[in-house]
């Protein structure tokens, strides 16, 4: 990441993580509001807040293009929020926001490249501006919106422009010297942030050095001499309010008010207060006293505490104010989310939300704010210890869990969790380490030196160790489990886009999206799911509603994504209630492509349907933007097989199609049965073993080609001699001396002949070294390898692959 | 290769680890080497070509091993106490090469290396040059070329 200064990489990581989760949140809000076809004020505020955060953090990272785009969107929603215009063309609005969100996402991806060059967003920004302008002019009464709003709506008001607008006149200016935390880097951008935060509330504004936006060297000057701001607040705002905002800006360490001669008159300590808005139950009366209750409840937990209105104790009128504006608490606490829980548990509290940034404050709240501005200043007379970390990294994650728990609480009964985010690499390392421990445990407990010794206490301790190890393993695996809802939610977006393009009306329904799968598997699921959903949208659902109604189906199509657990596997079903697959058509096509190896009548429906996942197969005559190029379904199959899963298709002509994906819960540790063949040891995954037994002569049959079969309880299974398959030298070729293992996968079963069963063991799957892929090991039924307790290597067999050829 | 040279410090630049196969001295550039270990138990993997002996476990890493003797077309011999596995570091993995005997580290500045003789013989494919150490001739092997897809295709046993 050459673009960023050294030492900022962790900040970049945090930035990328935060921004992408914010964008994901944005998508969800948009999907929801689009379905309901109306913007609630809460949604508008949320979008506004998301864009505001992205704008701020992008500017801080020096990513001006992203910051400006976010700013443009933010402005658009500012107009929507403030002026409440009638929005005639909602679709245009949604498309604009979606495209902006897509661009930002793409940009984040680009950031991960070494050679990052900022993309040009001007096209979309133009569109957004135009749309915002049309909103504004259509708003009628909105013409009288306050001047700051007008200044805001131009997307890239540079700080210089601000000065021109606000020619300094009169001498009642307040001068403030701002210093930033040492080593916070890019002081000029942080200074710009200060200016952006306060400019709305200032009638006049000037600062030194003036070229912070264009001259990167100005950061040095600021670091040495501080950043001087002269301002005169708007007439309805006290200057304390402004210094308060400055103090609250990220990374500001001190903010001193200077007198005429440059002497320090007053020092405003910088603090990062969390701002919480509390909403009480409707009609609960005496809100002021209830607010007092809340304050008393949390007083113990907070280092600093302020609230608006601040006269709740002695002014009954403040109840009305609370009803109108909500009750705002400013506080400092190490556990924001715990605090929120506490507030929520207070009687009559309907909800409490962390708002966290003072600069979001709408102008109509200015009256109580001046009261607030004094309050924290009183509350924190003692100079504060500097924040432990630079603010952008420290402040936001703290507020994050609470933000995230908010939508979750609304949907699912209010389960709150304390979350931390961990780098996936660390979890991978942890898993590797646990894998090593499992191997080492086996190495110790089945050490050849112990053979023939009677060690009761050792065995006892070893059992305890094994128990703890398997618990440890379960915990590590559970840490890596993530719900499928993330992958599912991405599909809403695809369905939405295709709905518009194809003109089909389709509902997307989720079932069991809380089912959890290993993180590494989820990453490989997105593409296959997307292909399948697209396929269902494009080919599955009928082209017109009339067609559907004629078949006796509701006009609106449904695509169902469901997931559930079943014996160590997760089953994901993508089902549509569309036209279904015509087996005749598939057969014709397969015949034309020369893919049939047997007479047509010998194919079962299931086999026919699964043909659509063979490479180079597409029944659709026309190629559309989304599907029909003959790639796709075979890619789906490959991707899912890559993570050890399998796909099958089921369909009823006229009623719909189902894609059934089976994936293992986890890739890395499997229960295996070790068998020996000559000097080699193979591991067969336990979940594909049905039974193992010694064959009796009466069970052995031969078909007309001389192929051997084993009869078990009236059913015949083909016999695969492992030593023949892999060209090994077995200890015995006599079928009655060896052991027969009945295995099954993908609805097929077969018997394997091995020399001997060695025992059951948990093994840690190691992928083949990349170079070995050149040797086609995977195509030959060897899924991976694993290291045994004695340090030797065993090969894990891929049963599905082996028996597919028989 | 240029990329790698610039990354490593100068004192490794002209150094080569020389080893014997069938009486001839060969050498790998020392920069590519991870470690040298003695021959240990090799787990054979079905379907591997004859020269790829299987995989070994080096402190938890599964590493494929290739017998250079067989790869270069010399007759196979018993492994002895002198037989070594040289583990080469590729960008995303390791590969071990079995050699008869590791001899020493030779310093071969550029002027002592002559380019690969242009003989249309397949073994020259992975030769990067011929070094002269006194009267001795050392054939320098380009480890990258040993594992190319084409190389493996060519050496695949004909079925």
Predicted confidence band at A156 (pLDDT cuts at 50, 70, 90)? very low
Please identify which residue in the block is written with the tokens 């998301």: A50
3.30.350.10, 1.10.10.10, 3.90.1150.10, 3.30.565.10: CATH of A482-664: 3.30.565.10
The residue ranking higher by pLDDT, A289 or A381, is A289
In Å, how far are A13, A54, A189, B49 from A108, measured between CA atoms? 10, 11, 20, 45
Q: Report in angstroms the alpha-carbon separations of A755 from A171, A686, A694.
A: 98, 18, 11
The reply to whether residue B55 touches residue A793, judged by beta carbons under 8 angstroms, is yes
* CATH code of the domain in which B72 resides: 2.40.50.180
Strand boundaries in A191-320, DSSP class E: 202-208, 227-233, 252-258, 264-269, 274-280, 304-308
* Structure-token pair, residue A801: 């692959």
**Residue A66: partners with Cβ closer than 8 Å, 6 or more residues away:** A54, A58, A104, A107, A118, A121
Asked if residue A668 has pLDDT above 80, the reply is: no
Contact A771 B63 (CB under 8 A): no
Structure tokens at A139: 């708003």
Instruction: Please say if the pLDDT value at position A689 is more than 50.
Output: yes
Per-residue pLDDT reduced to its tens digit, B11-64: 677 889 999 998 889 999 998 899 999 888 888 888 788 888 889 988 778 889
Cis upstream peptide for A309 (omega within 30°): yes
Q: What is the model's pLDDT at position A145?
A: 37
User: Is residue A39 predicted with pLDDT exceeding 50?
Assistant: yes
- Closest residue in B to A677 (Cα) is B46
Q: Is the pLDDT of residue A479 over 80?
A: yes
Indicate yes or no: CB of A775 within 8 angstroms of CB of B95: no
Compute the average pLDDT of residues A361-376: 38
Looking at the 3D structure of chain B, how many domains does it have? 1
A500 vs A537: CA distance, rounded Å: 11
* Predicted local confidence at residue A333, as pLDDT: 60
**A197 or B73: whose pLDDT is higher?**
B73
Superfamily of chain region A9-151 = HPT domain (1.20.120.160)
Distance CA A158, CA A210 (A): 11
Grade residue A340 by pLDDT with cuts at 50, 70 and 90: confident
Strands A174-180 and A252-258, by their bridges, are antiparallel
- The reported pLDDT for the residue numbered A776 is 67
3-state secondary structure of B27: strand
Q: Which residues does A411 contact at the CB level (< 8 Å), separation at least 6? A: none
Answer yes or no: is pLDDT of A154 > 80.
Answer: no
Q: Considering only alpha carbons, which residue of chain A is nearest residue B157?
A: A775
- In the predicted structure, residue A377 carries a pLDDT above the cut 60: no
The mean pLDDT value of chain A amounts to: 74
Q: Report how far residue A435's alpha carbon sits from residue A787's, in angstroms, rounded to the nearest whole number.
A: 10
B148: closest CA of chain A, how far (Å): 9
Determine the CATH number of domain A669-803: 2.40.50.180
B105 vs A: CB within 8 A? no
Structure tokens at A319: 């109840």
B45 touches chain A (CB under 8 A): yes
Is the pLDDT at A597 greater than 70? The verdict is yes
Question: Cβ–Cβ contacts within 10 Å for residue A219, how many?
Answer: 21
CATH 3.40.50.2300 fits A159-269, yes or no: no
pLDDT bucket at A741, cuts 50 / 70 / 90: very high
Say which residue, A801 or A155, is predicted with more confidence: A801
| H/E element, A74 | helix A64-83
Specify the pTM.
0.47
Q: pLDDT-derived band of residue A88, with 50, 70 and 90 as boundaries?
A: low
**Chain A contacts to B (CB-CB under 8 A):** 436, 439, 679-680, 725-728, 766, 768-772, 774-777, 780, 782, 785, 787, 791-795
Mutate to test the interface with A, among B62, B65, B91 (most CBs of A within 10 A): B62
* Mean pLDDT, residues A747-757: 88
pLDDT for A386 equals 41
In this predicted model, which residue has the larger pLDDT, A361 or A251?
A: A251
How many Cβ pairs closer than 8 A exist between chain A and B? 68
CATH of domain A274-382+390-410: 3.30.70.1110
Smallest Cα distance from B47 to chain A, Å: 7
Range of the domain at B20: 2-155
pLDDT higher for A358 or A466?
A466
Please check the confidence at residue A698 and state whether its pLDDT lies above 90: no
- Helices in A328-390 by DSSP H: which ranges? 336-345, 366-379
Q: What are the residue ranges spanned by the domains of chain A? A: 9-151, 159-269, 274-382+390-410, 424-480, 482-664, 669-803
Mean pLDDT of A604-620: 73
SS3 assignment, position A580: coil
Contacts of B94 in chain A (CB under 8 A): 769
Residue B47 to residue A794, Cβ atoms within 8 A = no
| Per-residue confidence (pLDDT) for residue B86, from 0 to 100 | 94
């Amino acid at each position: 990441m050459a673009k960023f200064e050294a030492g900022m990489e962790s900040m970049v990581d945090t930035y990328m993580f935060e921004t992408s989760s914010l964008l994901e949140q944005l998508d969800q809000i948009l999907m929801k509001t689009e379905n309901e076809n109306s913007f609630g004020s809460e949604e508008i505020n949320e979008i506004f807040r998301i864009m505001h955060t992205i704008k701020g953090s992008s500017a801080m990272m020096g990513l001006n293009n992203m910051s400006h785009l976010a700013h443009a969107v933010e402005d658009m929603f500012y107009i929507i929020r403030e002026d409440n215009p009638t929005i005639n063309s909602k679709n245009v609005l949604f498309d604009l926001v979606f495209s902006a969100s897509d661009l930002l996402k793409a940009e984040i991806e680009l950031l991960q490249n070494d050679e990052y060059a900022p993309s040009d967003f001007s096209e979309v920004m133009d569109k957004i501006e135009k749309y915002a302008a049309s909103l504004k002019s259509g708003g009628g009464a909105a013409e009288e919106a306050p001047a700051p709003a007008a200044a805001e709506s131009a997307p890239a008001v540079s700080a210089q422009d601000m000065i021109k607008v606000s020619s300094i006149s009169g001498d009642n200016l307040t001068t403030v010297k701002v210093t930033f935390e040492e080593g916070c880097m890019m002081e000029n951008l942080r200074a710009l942030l200060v200016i952006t935060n306060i400019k709305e509330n200032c009638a006049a504004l000037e600062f030194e050095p003036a070229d912070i936006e264009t001259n990167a060297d100005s950061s040095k000057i600021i670091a040495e001499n501080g950043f001087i701001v002269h301002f005169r607040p708007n007439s309805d705002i006290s200057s304390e309010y402004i210094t308060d905002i400055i103090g609250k800006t990220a990374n500001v360490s001190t903010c001193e008010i200077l007198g005429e001669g440059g002497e320090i008159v007053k020092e405003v300590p910088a603090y990062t207060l969390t701002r919480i808005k509390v909403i009480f139950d409707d009609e609960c009366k005496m809100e002021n006293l209830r607010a007092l209750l809340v304050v008393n409840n949390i007083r113990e937990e907070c280092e600093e505490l302020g609230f608006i209105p601040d006269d709740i104790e002695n002014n009954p009128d403040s109840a009305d104010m609370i009803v109108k504006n909500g009750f705002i608490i400013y506080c400092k606490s190490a556990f924001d989310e715990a605090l929120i829980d506490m507030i929520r548990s207070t009687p009559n509290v309907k909800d409490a939300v962390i708002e966290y940034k003072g600069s979001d404050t709408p102008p109509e709240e200015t009256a109580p704010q001046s009261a607030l501005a004094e309050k924290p200043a009183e509350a924190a007379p003692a100079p504060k210890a500097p924040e432990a970390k630079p603010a952008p990294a420290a402040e936001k994650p703290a507020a994050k869990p609470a933000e995230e728990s908010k939508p979750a609480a609304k949907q699912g009964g209010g389960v709150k969790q304390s979350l931390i985010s961990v780098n996936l690499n660390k979890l991978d390392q942890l898993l590797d380490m646990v894998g090593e421990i499992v191997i080492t445990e086996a190495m110790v407990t089945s050490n050849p030196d112990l053979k023939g010794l009677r060690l009761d206490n050792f065995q006892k301790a070893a059992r305890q160790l094994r128990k703890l190890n398997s618990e440890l393993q379960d915990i590590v695996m559970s840490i890596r489990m993530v719900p499928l809802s993330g992958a599912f939610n991405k599909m809403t977006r695809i369905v939405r886009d295709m709905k518009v393009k194809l003109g089909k009306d389709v509902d997307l329904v989720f079932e069991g999206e809380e089912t959890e799968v290993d993180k590494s598997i989820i990453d490989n699921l997105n593409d296959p799911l997307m292909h399948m959903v697209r396929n269902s949208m494009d080919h599955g659902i009928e082209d017109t509603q009339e067609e559907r109604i004629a078949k006796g189906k509701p006009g609106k199509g449904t695509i169902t994504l469901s997931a559930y657990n079943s014996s160590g596997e997760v089953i994901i079903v993508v089902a549509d209630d569309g036209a279904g697959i015509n087996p005749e058509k598939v057969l014709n096509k397969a015949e034309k492509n020369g893919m049939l190896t047997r007479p047509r009548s010998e194919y079962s429906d299931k086999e026919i349907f699964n043909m659509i996942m063979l490479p180079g197969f597409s029944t659709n005559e026309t190629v559309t933007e989304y599907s029909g190029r003959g790639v796709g379904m075979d890619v789906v199959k490959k991707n899912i097989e890559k993570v050890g899963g399998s796909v099958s298709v089921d369909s009823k002509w006229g009623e719909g199609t189902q894609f059934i994906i089976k994936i293992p819960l986890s890739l890395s540790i499997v229960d295996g049965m070790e068998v020996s063949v000559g000097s080699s040891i193979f591991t067969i995954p336990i979940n594909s073993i049905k039974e193992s037994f010694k064959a009796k002569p009466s069970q052995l049959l031969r078909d007309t080609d001389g192929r051997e079969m084993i009869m078990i309880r009236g059913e015949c299974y083909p016999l695969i001699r492992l030593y023949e398959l892999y060209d090994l030298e077995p200890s015995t070729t006599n079928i009655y001396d060896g052991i027969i293992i009945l295995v099954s996968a993908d609805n097929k079963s077969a018997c394997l002949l091995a020399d001997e069963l060695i025992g059951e063991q948990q093994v840690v799957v190691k992928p083949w070294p990349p170079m070995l892929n050149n040797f086609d090991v995977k195509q030959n039924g060897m899924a991976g390898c694993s290291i045994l307790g004695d340090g030797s290597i065993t090969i894990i067999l891929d049963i599905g692959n082996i028996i597919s050829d028989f | 290769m240029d990329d790698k040279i610039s990354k490593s410090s100068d004192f490794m630049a002209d150094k080569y680890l020389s080893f014997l196969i069938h009486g001839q001295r060969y050498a790998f550039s020392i920069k590519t080497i991870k470690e040298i270990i003695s021959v240990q138990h090799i787990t054979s993997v079905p379907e591997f070509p004859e020269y790829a002996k299987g995989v070994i476990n080096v402190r938890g890493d599964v590493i494929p091993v290739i017998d250079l003797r067989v790869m270069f077309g010399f007759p196979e011999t018993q492994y002895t106490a002198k037989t070594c596995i040289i583990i080469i570091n590729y960008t995303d993995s390791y590969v071990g090469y079995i050699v008869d005997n590791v001899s020493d580290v030779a310093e071969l500045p550029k002027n002592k290396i002559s380019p690969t003789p242009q003989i249309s013989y397949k073994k020259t494919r992975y030769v990067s040059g011929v070094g002269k150490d006194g009267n001795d001739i050392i054939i320098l092997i380009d480890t990258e070329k040993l594992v190319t897809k084409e190389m493996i295709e060519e050496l695949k046993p004909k079925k």
